[in-house]
Structure 1
């Protein structure tokens, strides 16, 4: 059997960690195990898992490898461990697909669609002048956009703050019309009382969804928020396993789940989460403000998932100031967008070819990305 014989990790700009896994017959698979701003920590977790559980083992029993990495430790879950597992899992599927000459989605049951719609980010951390940018993205062929709802908020903020968020969405809606979907990301910056007020105020402008209206540790508030609005509720980028998602499925508060293929246990786990969601009539829209390997993994799952709705992608996102998604690919046309859709790839494995020479060159640079620390006017820390 084809055994795992070597691995390497590469920290590359703008804030990504790539994993290269090689087998005895020379097949190479790539994964993207990273927690943005915690790459050194995840790197150590990947090394621990690879050294203790995977080197010298055959590639093919991916489910058993997943169970071993997850259940082989007494302490489980959380962003660091699940992201380390995710990147390893992606690389194993990449190798298995290449070895069998098939895209990963063919190994997961085959395609349920020919393409998946993508959305494009507008604005930045502190959204401004989004209407003009929205028009440019729609002119470029996108039919779905996403924007941050607000800057930092007080626990209970004033009417002017709410009106500023409404005004931004109103301008975007007026600029692009009703034929374009607009997702609004609360980014976990919003407390429960403000989430209810914002949802009610934004409702006349028909967002595609409101995302992460509260932090996941306050998911128990989602049924109350859902009762105050008809806007679909999306969440899940900071939820890491099917057990984390179980509660929101059971209470019926969420309409769109957004697990991250580099945080929520990889292809193996997100496919299971997506199937759970289907049983509860919940759509899948994977979170992906990351690099090309994460995006390729997302598209593989989208391809074979009937309830996949739309795919986030990070081309030209405000984080990518030094390097962008396509820079690391031998053939960037695999992510060419046609009228706001990306075609399901037919190449083996993850369907991409990484430019290894460029990866090695970029990994020589110093990468030390951390998210901003925001504070209120009184000096107390707030959510970014």
Structure 2
């Protein structure tokens, strides 16, 4: 089962995606997501110029060996571009493996550990009244968990608050736009938002909030403590995690659970956070953390320390990645939650898939492999469009984490 063709497909059905499609000599195909939001062409070039030539003629069944070949063989290890490229190859090979076996990928990972994958949606609005209406909409759709983001009085824009409530995409211009941030305004306003949401929807709805790396550890501890009465499922990315030891300070000041990891590219980025139990949920994802093979290693390590999965699932991950994530989610013993932002109709058409949402759960495809593909002819009708993520400054002009 040799790889005879490898195609890197860049398309923009509303936003940019990069997809790797592998073809074997016996006619099997596999797809892998290679999208790195705002840096898509860097990964496309890495694949086309460095990875694809090395794949032709390789045995598609040797997933583990190929992973190590691409990781150790490059010499320059880790980093988001390298690991996203490796993830695309790895995911495509798992897709092929499932098709060769005649089984959905989750069966190759040990079979089901649950009947469905609990997902959360994004309720956001400028005002508290608008937030309550958005939470109600997700509850009506059947969601059992909702992320809540609200506008901050005095700030023109706030992360997570979008015009299109279902298809939020922050990469909004060819050159990064700039936003203004105030930690003081945010800390004063946010607890009151959750007080009203919890009062309106009671104790059983799971509530989440994304801080988006914007606080110092002690500020994050203060926020977490102020949110304790509202029993959040998690407070996401409360502080930049490059200094993993900083999470210990947050732990000393709050029992609000912590979720971190959507920008991690490997197990080494979260080793201390997991082994010292400084987080409760690990948010690493298939496309940015080296594919199914490597993400499974992260989740296995996390299981030893009672840390659960909470994988990133925004619209910058294509349906290929979402499908791969669901196969892993349904199989691992320490699953927690899966983020689920719905794709546009144009995206769903370019990436036909068999996973589906019902009663608050996502269900992976039962087709052999991942149960997702890319319509290459339709993809070609949506050419690449430069789109960068914003940057953030404090009110005095100091550059701050976006």
**Structure-1-length-normalised TM-score:** 0.91
Q: Deviations over 1:316-366 (max 9, x none)?
A: 6xxx6xx665333435xx33322101123211111224333322222xx24
- The answer to whether 1:194 aligns with 2:219 is yes
Q: How many residues align?
A: 373
- Residues 375 and 202 (structure 1 numbering): CA distance in 2 closer, same or farther, change over 3 Å? same
CA contact (8 A) 2:103 2:367 kept: yes
CA distance in 1, matches of 2:49, 2:283: 28
Q: Structure 1: state its 5+ residue gaps.
A: none
| Pairing 1:156-167 to 2, within 5 Å after superposition | 157-158=183-184, 160-167=185-192
Q: Which residue in 2 is equivalent to 1:2? A: 2
Contact 1:119 1:310 in 2 (8 A): yes
Equivalent residue for 2:335?
308
Q: Is the 8 A contact 1:156 1:194 kept in 2?
A: no
State whether structure 2 residue 311 is matched by structure 1 residue 286: yes
Does 2:350 correspond to 1:328? yes
**Does 2:270 align with 1:252?**
no
Instruction: Give runs of aligned pairs for residues 186-265 of structure 1, distance below 5 A.
Output: 186-265=211-290
SS in 2 for 1:216: coil
In the superposition, relative to structure 1, how do residues 166 and 325 fare at CA in structure 2: closer, same or farther (>3 Å)?
A: farther
Once the two structures are superposed, the pairs formed by residues 1-384 of structure 1 within 5 Å of their partners are: 1-13=1-13, 14-123=15-124, 129-148=130-149, 151=158, 157-158=183-184, 160-289=185-314, 290-315=317-342, 325-330=347-352, 334-362=354-382, 365-384=383-402
CA positional deviation for 1:56 = 1.6
Unaligned runs of 5+ in 2: 153-157, 160-178
Distance 1:94 1:49, change over 3 A: farther
- Cα contact 1:8–1:21 (8 A) shared by 2: no
CA contact (8 A) 2:181 2:394 kept: no
RMSD of aligned Cα (Å): 2.2
CA contact (8 A) 1:146 1:184 kept: yes
8 Å contact 1:135–1:175 — kept in the other structure?
no
In the TM superposition, what is the alpha-carbon distance from 1:95 to its structure 2 partner? 1.3
Quick one: distance in 1 between partners of 2:400 and 2:268? 28
Tell me the TM-score normalised to structure 2 length. 0.87
Distance in 2, matches of 1:185 and 1:172, equals 15
Alpha-carbon separation, structure 2, partners of 1:5 and 1:15: 23
Cα 1:118–1:50 change in 2 (3 A) is same
Task: Give yes or no for contact 1:105–1:300 (8 Å, CA) kept in 2.
Answer: yes
How far apart are the structure 1 equivalents of 2:255 and 2:127?
24
Q: Distance in 1 between matches of 2:72 and 2:28?
A: 28
CA-to-aligned-CA distance 1:196-227 (integer Å, 9 cap, x gap):
11111111111110111111213211111012
Distance between the aligned counterparts of 1:257 and 1:287, measured in 2?
A: 9
- The whole-number CA distance in structure 2 between the counterparts of 1:209 and 1:324 is 32
C-alpha contact 2:22 2:29 (8 A) present in aligned 1? yes
Indicate if the aligned counterparts of 1:86 and 1:263 stay in contact, CA closer than 8 A.
yes
Which residue of the partner structure matches residue 172 of structure 2? none
State the Cα distance separating 1:175 from its structure 2 match.
2.8
Q: Provide the secondary structure at the position in 1 that maps to 2:386.
A: coil
